[in-house]
Amino acid sequence: MQQLQGRVALVTGSTHGIGTSIARLFASEGAKVIVHGRDQQAGASVVEEIGKAGGEAMFAAADVKDFEAIEAIRAEIERKFGFVDVLVTSAGGGGGQPMAVESISADGWKTALDENLTSVFLTIKSFLPAMKKAGRGSIVTIASSNPHRPAPIAYGAAKAGVILLTRDVAAQVGPNGVRVNCIAPSTILTPGNENRIPEQAKASLAASHPLHRLGAPKDVAEAALFLASDQSSWITGVVLDVAGGAVMT
């Protein structure tokens, strides 16, 4: 039995990296998947790949910092597939380089929070009411292990905000049958990171993790599948550190 058979799953930011891996896995487990992003060519490619593997998917383009745009794709999804009962908020911006607080521009600070926190709030705000009305649903947010470690402060603050948002929403909507959990990955070797991080730095980063390797997108996807599926039916409000042992709490 496929773990997400009959579910409708939206994975934001799924045209590249971690989001793509989650979308592929969810489709292979029976979900009708909405691939989301702003790169239409990449989105069409992921949808095509899912279709060739026997899955069902559609592409939806929207700026998740724009509530009206999110509402528009929600209406489009509901017309085609019905209400979304699995939501993964994978969209977000890069962390950038650490710098002194006084060197961060006001615009840079706002951009980091909008891309990594406000976008999550707006997406949940749009899709949560239908879940509450149906009395079921699973939301998986993506934060970062960075709030536990030195990191670009604006990005870290935004991801810490995602964790707080996750826990608050989980407490609010548990009585409605909706679960909300968070994944906090450490360094994941997405295609972008594979190209960006020098080999020597990869080795050093791997050595800093007790499991002595860096994460793969599939590591996060498998965790998302667990939290989205009925296998975690009595779990809500948790933060799952997918971090190779780099975070132990």
Q: Which of 7, 127, 155, 219 is catalytic?
A: 155
Write the burial class of residue 45 (CB in 10 Å: 0-12 exposed, 13-18 middle, 19+ buried).
middle
Residue type, 208: S
- Asked if residue 96 lies in contact with residue 18, where contact means CB atoms within 8 angstroms, the answer is no
**Taking Cα atoms as reference points, which of 73, 15, 11 lies closest to residue 47?**
15
- List C-alpha distances in Å: 214 to 5, 69, 205, 236: 31, 35, 7, 27
End-to-end CA distance of the chain: 34
Active site residue 126: no
Name the residue among 236, 94, 239, 107 with its Cα closest to residue 164. 239
Per DSSP, the three-state class of 108 is helix
Query: Catalytic site residues?
Result: 155
